[in-house]
Every structure is written in structure tokens, then in C-alpha cells.
Amino acid sequence: DIQMTQSPSSLSASVGDRVTITCRASQSITRYLNWYQQKPGKAPQLLIYAASSLQSGVPSRFTGFGSGTNFSLTISSLQPEDFASYFCQQSYIAPRTFGQGTKLEIK
Amino acid sequence: QVQLQQSGPGLVKPSQTLSLTCAISGDSVSSNDAAWNWIRQSPSRGLEWLGRTYYRSHWYNDYAVSVESRITINADTSKNQFSLQLNSVTPEDTAVYYCVKEKTGHYDWLDPWGQGTLVTVSS
């Protein structure tokens, strides 16, 4: 199975900050990388697919980058509704695997 | 838009079978560019993909190795839904279970997700 490693596991930041979350795959997955946001008590929601394509309705302050084994998710200016958990997921091969998540908290 | 509505019990006794159903609206379970997944989430395991079913001239299933001896995912075209059965459950199967559509094509992604069902395995 492909292992997905996210960092950091938690992050404290303020409204207006720029933050970056990274995700590393244990082997090359080219651009088969998706990002999801999850709020407490809710199901994950797709933010970015194919490493850098923004899902419809997702604000442009979210940016995905990377290919091969190294990927990142950047939020350019944090808004109150962005404080949540974020997960990466590879769709290169089955079984689909996820990162362990990054919890973004208000400082 | 596509919506997934989950149903099934939230409490299952050890050694029994966990059964959940996911009703699809706005799409077809027989779609040639979708796969229908079950994923669970727990504090100890994180997000864990369990398996999927999809139709490409005939039905296919993929299952996670960790549960492949205990899991069955079936599609019901007459009701436009799919189901999960997990046999011989233990407390380690306690988790929130999600049904999820996977859009397939050149790139694949998981969207949307069902609302989630907390399943507790306890006597």
C-alpha cells in the first residue's frame, strides 16, 4: 500500500495568516493526489483534486501544488471557517490511502 | 447534484454482522464513470478505505486486504443503492462509516460523501 504522511499533525494560526500543509507519498503518485477538509461531526469534503485543481465552489485562497511524492496545500489568508482538519488522499492505485490529517486550530 | 443517504443500525454486537445501505440520488449506481465506496474513520485508524463496487459492462469489487475475508459490497440497481456487510465484527470495527462516490476517469476523487453513521460494536 502507498503510505501518505502529512505534516504537521496540528497547527495553530490566526485569521489572515498564510499556512501550508505538506503531504508525502511513499512512492510516486504523479498528480493523483486529492485534499479534503473536515469539520467536527461532518463528513470530509473535497477541496482539491489532481494535485492542483480547485473543486467547484471552493474559495481561491486554497491552492494545491506538487507532483511525484511531494505535495502541499496552502491557504493564503485564513478565514474563521477554515479552522478544521485537512486530509490528503492518493488515487493512484487501490487501496486508496489517506494521510493522518492536519488539525488547524485558532491561535 | 449527487446526494448519498446512509441508513443502518448504530449498535452491533460482537461477532455479528454490520449492515449499512447507501441510497443514491442524482446519479446511477450503474454509472460508467463512478465507483461506490465505503470508508470508515476512527481515532485509532484514521480514514480507512474498505472497498468499492463499480460497473464496467459487468460488476467489479475491490476490497481492503485488512477486511477482505469479512466484507461484501453489493449494488442494487432496482433501488439505486449499494450496501456494506461486515461479518464477525469486534470492538475494533467501531467507527464512523461513510459511503462515498468516487468520480473515475483520468483522475479520480471522492465526492460526495454520505452523512456518516457511527457504528459501535458492543454487547
Q: With bands split at pLDDT 50, 70 and 90, how would you rate the model's confidence at B63? A: very high
Q: With bands split at pLDDT 50, 70 and 90, how would you rate the model's confidence at A53? A: very high
Residue B25's H or E segment, with its range, is strand B18-25
| Mean of per-residue pLDDT scores for chain B | 97
Option in A49, A94, A98 nearest B47 (CB): A98
C-alpha distances out from residue A34 to A7, A31, B55, B57, Å: 15, 9, 23, 28
Q: What's chain A's Rg over C-alpha atoms?
A: 13
The pLDDT of residue B27: 97
* Whether A45 contacts chain B with CB within 8 A: yes
β-strand partners of B64: none
Q: What is the pLDDT of residues A59-86, one digit of tens each?
A: 999 999 999 999 999 999 999 999 999 9
CA-based nearest distance A74→chain B, Å: 19
Do the beta carbons of residue B94 and residue B13 sit within 8 Å? no
Distance CA A85, CA A80 (A): 13
